[in-house]
């Protein structure tokens, strides 16, 4: 039986240093749970001369990936180096060398997850990726194990802490988008280049991972409908509140007999919905199962120690498998073929805010456009806004397809009486 498990740690940034700190501070707990110590044997870094506040000995650090992967005493690789191509190459080489991998890399798992999981199966290795979605929230493990006997039909949630922090500041403190983003950057919630967050790409990658796992199929990034938060217009947050809604940049995934649909976009949630009260940098995912019904998972979606906690949880799971001799025994092949819905098969209610010329007969003209596209209206309200040049109308539809919605918006924007469709949102989370 193994008397010690050695780890090769690839990366020693915010998450990597957090993993090292947890492993060092919790050695007694790990010995109790596993019956053996867990030691960081090698650490891959870019700069050996950088000053680091850590108990890991200087002799463990290296700039040579080969030195880590070719060390036969290393049992498990923890990849927290970030990036895509170098990280993917390191994971592939680790698996081919017969070493299990724990990764926090959402970019790699969203784009190459199926390929890498297949490689892990072929080489009888574990590949764990809990920290790739949701920071400290155990979402992957819940879908793989806790809800394994259920059939998941839908999930929706806030999976990007940066945008949620910005929207919270905009709604509750009346901050501008620019000021809220600046504060998020100052606090470390946003990167120097926040485009992946605010354009919805980060959330889309996470939804690819969750949807692929929840529905046991191959979901690709190009399958995700993506709209970023930059399309939220001035006054929309207050207008949503007036109608009993809260705006969140949310990811959603649904599956039925017609296939799978996945989207990331600003949506309206009723104020009574649990996701409406998820604020600041916190994440939450609402899961719908045939048997379990509705469940919600909530917690910190980012940060050194929350993310490192998820990584370390995967390390413990991988170590247990190594000690029991059952590593690489999980089958990761998708159960169902890839089948993605088109826009004609995606249904929801929609909120349309339309600026029109203040003329007689405009309302009749607009309602006829909805009627021609087979859409019925639940609400028609003229919203008075002194800042707008014309009349500000709000239409809320009954359930229509996304294609109907897109066709209506396109025709409205081409109508002479319409100054412009100021904003539009899908309504999520209603009964």
Token pair 């916190």: residue = 282
Nearest to 268 by CA among 299, 234, 302, 232: 232
395-414 residues labelled b (16+ CB within 10 A) or e (exposed)? bbbeebbbebbebbeebbee
CB neighbour class for 372 (10 Å; exposed up to 12, middle 13-18, buried from 19): exposed
In whole angstroms, give the CA distance from residue 145 to residue 319: 17
The whole-number pLDDT of residue 188 equals: 81
Parse the chain into domains and list their residue ranges: 5-135+304-324, 146-300, 343-427
Which CATH class name applies to 146-300?
A: alpha beta
Q: In DSSP terms, which residues pair with 352 in a beta bridge?
A: 395, 424
Token couple for 14:
């915010």
Query: What is the rounded CA–CA span in Å between residue 370 and residue 412?
Result: 9
Q: How are beta strands 245-256 and 400-401 bridged, if at all?
A: unpaired
- Residue 285 to residue 158: CA distance in whole angstroms: 6
Q: Please report the pLDDT score of residue 91 as a whole number.
A: 98
pLDDT score, position 386: 56
Six-digit token string for 224: 């995700």
Query: Cα 99 from chain centroid?
Result: 27
Rounded Cα–Cα distance for residues 250 and 288 (Å): 16
CA distance 173 to 331: 48
What does the alpha-carbon distance between residue 252 and residue 225 come to, in Å, rounded to a whole number? 10
Domain 343-427 has CATH 3.30.70.260: yes
* Structure-token pair, residue 247: 């705006």
Whole-angstrom CA distances from 263 to 57, 117, 204, 215 are: 46, 24, 7, 15
User: Would you name the residues annotated as active-site residues?
Assistant: 206
Q: 116-141 b/e with 16+ CB inside 10 Å = b?
A: bbebbbebebbbbbbbbbbbbbbbbb
CB 245 within 8 A of CB 269: yes
* Residues paired with residue 47 on neighbouring β-strands, in sequence order: none
**Strand pairing report for 76-79 and 100-103:** parallel
Per-residue pLDDT tens listing for the chain (431 residues)? 677 899 999 999 989 999 999 999 999 998 899 999 999 999 999 999 898 888 899 999 999 999 999 999 999 999 999 899 999 999 999 999 999 999 999 999 999 999 999 999 999 999 999 999 988 899 999 999 989 889 999 999 999 999 999 999 999 999 999 999 999 989 888 888 999 999 999 999 999 999 999 999 999 999 999 999 998 988 899 999 999 999 999 999 999 999 999 999 999 999 999 999 999 999 999 999 999 999 999 998 777 788 899 999 999 999 999 999 998 888 788 889 999 999 999 999 999 999 999 888 899 999 999 999 999 999 999 865 555 567 889 999 999 999 999 999 999 999 999 999 999 999 998 76
Q: How far apart are CA 68 and CA 45, in angstroms?
A: 11
The pLDDT of residue 387 is 57
pTM over 0.85: yes
Q: Which CATH architecture does the domain made up of 5-135+304-324 adopt?
A: 3-Layer(aba) Sandwich (3.40)
Q: How much is the pLDDT for 382? A: 85
Nearest to 214 by CA among 103, 135, 140: 140
In degrees and rounded to multiples of 5, residue 377 shows phi and psi of: -105, 135
Structural Rg of the chain based on CA atoms: 24
């Amino acid at each position: 039986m193994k008397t010690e498990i050695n780890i090769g740690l690839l990366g020693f940034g915010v998450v990597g240093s957090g993993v090292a700190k947890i492993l060092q501070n919790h050695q007694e707990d790990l010995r109790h749970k596993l019956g053996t110590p867990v030691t960081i044997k090698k650490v891959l870094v870019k700069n050996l001369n950088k000053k680091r506040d850590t108990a890991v000995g200087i002799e463990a650090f290296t700039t040579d990936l080969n030195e880590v992967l070719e060390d036969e005493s290393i049992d498990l690789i923890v990849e927290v180096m970030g990036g895509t191509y170098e990280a993917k190459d390191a994971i592939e080489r680790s698996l081919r060398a017969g070493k299990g991998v724990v990764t926090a890399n959402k970019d790699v798992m969203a784009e190459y997850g199926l390929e890498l999981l297949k490689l892990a199966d072929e080489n009888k290795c574990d590949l764990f990726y809990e920290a790739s979605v949701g920071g400290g929230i155990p979402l992957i493990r819940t879908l793989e194990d806790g809800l394994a006997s259920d059939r998941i039909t839908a999930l929706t949630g806030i999976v990007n802490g940066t945008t949620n922090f910005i929207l919270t500041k905009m709604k509750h403190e009346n901050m501008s988008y620019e000021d809220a983003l600046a504060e998020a950057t100052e606090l470390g919630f946003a990167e120097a280049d926040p485009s992946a967050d605010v354009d919805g790409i980060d959330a889309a990658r996470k939804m690819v991972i969750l949807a692929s796992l929840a529905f046991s199929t191959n979901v690709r990034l190009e399958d995700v409908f993506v709209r970023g938060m930059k399309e939220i217009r001035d006054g929309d947050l207050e207008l949503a509140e007036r109608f009993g809604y809260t705006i969140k940049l949310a990811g959603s995934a649904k599956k039925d007999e017609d296939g799978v649909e996945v989207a990331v976009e600003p949506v309206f949630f009723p104020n009574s919905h649990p996701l409406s009260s998820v604020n600041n940098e916190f994440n939450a995912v609402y899961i719908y199962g045939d048997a379990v019904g509705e469940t919600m998972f909530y917690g910190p979606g980012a940060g050194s120690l929350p993310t490192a906690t998820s990584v370390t949880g995967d390390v413990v799971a991988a170590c247990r498998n190594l000690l029991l001799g059952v590593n690489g025994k999980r089958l990761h092949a998708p159960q169902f073929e890839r089948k993605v819905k088109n826009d004609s098969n995606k249904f929801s209610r929609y909120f349309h805010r339309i600026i029109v010329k203040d003329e007689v007969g405009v309302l009749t003209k607009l309602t006829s456009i909805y009627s021609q596209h087979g859409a019925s209206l639940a609400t028609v309200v003229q919203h008075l806004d002194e800042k707008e040049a014309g009349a500000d109308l709000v239409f809320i539809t009954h359930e229509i397809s996304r294609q109907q919605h897109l066709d209506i918006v396109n025709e409205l924007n081409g109508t002479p009486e319409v100054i412009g469709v100021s904003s539009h949102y899908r309504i999520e989370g209603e009964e």
